[in-house]
Structure 1
Amino acid sequence: MALSLLLVEDNARTRDQILGMLAQTPYQVEIAVDGLDGLNRARKACFDVVLVDHKMPLMDGLLLVKNLRDSADYTQTPILFMTTSEPEQIREKAERMGADIVLGKPLDSDELLGKLRQLSPRDVA
């Protein structure tokens, strides 16, 4: 059974780059184009991992993370938070909202894939 990952990213170019990084993983990726879209998709299906952008229209990433953590389905789900801000400046707030890991953008492919391997609920080859 494939692992499911919800990618919440409003920038199409960045989405494409991340999808390229995830192409060699066992993840079935579903895309949300903003925070509200991400919340709605997360309510319809339960994902193994959620990858959330920081600054998005309709609902920013911090509020999305908080909303996910407030849902019983996502209390233990790994959430990776991506930001164009300096990660150290946003890390405390993102973790307080419920993010497991904060990554700076542009993402480093090796770092992203390594973190996903660490956090995955099942073995990822």
Structure 2
Amino acid sequence: MIAALLASVCLLTCLGQISQKLAVESWRGRQLSLPAKLFSPWLVLAIACLGGSLLLWLVLLQHLDVGVAYPMLSLNFVLVTLAAGVLFHERIDLRHWCGVALIVAGVALLGLQS
């Protein structure tokens, strides 16, 4: 259950971040009013995902110490990096991948602790 909660928090947070990027990309080169921006579908999805991840995070914290749970959210760096490369065709250099590998190693070490 804890692993599923953590995975859900990470996935919803990642989807929220990607939705934010898609929201601002949809605004590029367009003159939109503030209400039009605030109620754009991508921004509404981002808020819903981030709100959902917050609620699941609160449930997760009932079962896991914050000192263990919070670093696990670093997996978002991995997910967002992969999504940035695939969805936005962003260039991800070797140094970035080395940092991602260190994050994964750190999360694995913490996972052994719990």
TM-score with structure 2 length normalisation? Answer: 0.32
More relative contact order in 1 or in 2 (CA 8 Å, sep 6+)?
A: 2
The structure in which a higher percent of residues are helix is 2
Q: Specify the structure having the higher radius of gyration (Cα).
A: 2
The structure in which a higher percent of residues are strand is 1
